[in-house]
Amino acid sequence: MNTKAYETLHLQQDARGVLEIRLNRPEKHNAFNAQVISDLKEAFDQASVDESVRVVLLTGAGKSFSAGADIDWMRSQGRENEKANVQSALQMSEMFLAIHDCSKPVIAKVHGAALGGGTGLVAASDIAIASEDAIFGFTEVRLGIIPAVISPFAIEKLGPGSARALFLLGRRFNGVEAARLGLVFRSVPAADLGDEIENCLADLLRGSPMALKAAKELAQSLSPQAPQSHIPRCAEAIAKIRGSEEAQEGLSAFLERRRPSWFPEKT
């Protein structure tokens, strides 16, 4: 069992072998920065090799699952030199891959906001259960950036057609729509979310650990949109665009609570 205390996560494992990894920046709606990225990757890498862990439950403290990448942090990364910018994006990609490739089943319990990179965390998980009023969205284009790092995982879940439309529209959608699209396995009323998670955990714990690992590996190996091969290209894509003038304008506009220059005021 991983007993390490993380700066941005809370870990708790029960007698059944269910390890809860809870994002613990509620004041920031669990948005992730460099520390969150490092902590999540390490926690999932450890869970993957820890024989006492049967299932990983990914949750968020407070009102939101995760609002995605911390906007101020994203803006600062875009101001770094090309090498540092690409390296930062690769580290984020490796965090999502650690979740996706964890040898244990990963369930995401989704409530509140799961936007941008938060939607990516959902896509990287094996089974996502969401409250019907949870809010998802690939909102990056409205900030002048693109959902590059999360795109391999989103396309694996959604398929290229739906992903293309959602990436371009940038609109938000609820848990009911997320289930219809295949981003989440099931959506339920908020009051029933805990019970539905427990039902899924009970089902998973009935499976043999070796068979669960093999079944996950088989499903991933047969996926036509396997994420691993796209990681370098996607990291370079986000590094390039977040250093652009439009990205810096969009991210600044968000932080300053104003419209970006490309979105004119209503007449």
Residue with tokens 């650990």: 209
1 part of a folded domain: no
Q: Is residue 4 part of a domain?
A: no
Q: Is the pLDDT of residue 242 over 90?
A: no
Percentage of the chain modeled with pLDDT above 90: 74
Q: What is the pLDDT of residue 233?
A: 86
Query: Which of the four pLDDT bands, split at 50, 70 and 90, describes residue 267?
Result: very low
What gap in Å lies between CA 91 and CA 89, rounded to an integer? 5
- For the chain, strand residue ranges (E) read 9-13, 18-23, 55-60, 106-110, 113-115, 127-131, 135-137, 172-174, 186-188
Residue 135: inside a domain = yes
The reply to whether 78 falls in a domain is yes
Assigned domain for 260 exists: no
Confidence of residue 74 (pLDDT cuts 50, 70, 90): confident
Q: Is the dihedral of CA 23, 238, 83, 101 positive or negative?
A: positive
Distance CA 37, CA 93 (A): 9
**Pairing status of strand 9-13 against strand 18-23:** antiparallel
Which domain CATH number covers 58? 3.90.226.10
Domain boundaries, position 17: 9-191+200-255
**For 93-147, how does the pLDDT look when each residue is reduced to its tens digit (9 = 90+)?**
999 999 999 999 999 999 999 999 999 999 999 999 999 999 999 999 999 999 9
pLDDT of residue 171 exceeding 60: yes
What's the pLDDT tens digit per position in 189-211? 999 999 999 999 999 999 999 99
pLDDT value at residue 85 = 85
- Total of domains in the chain: 1
pLDDT at 84 over 60: yes
In a domain, 261, yes or no: no
Residue 88 forms part of a structural domain = yes
- Number of other CB atoms surrounding residue 211 within 10 Å: 9
Q: What average pLDDT does the structure give for the chain?
A: 93
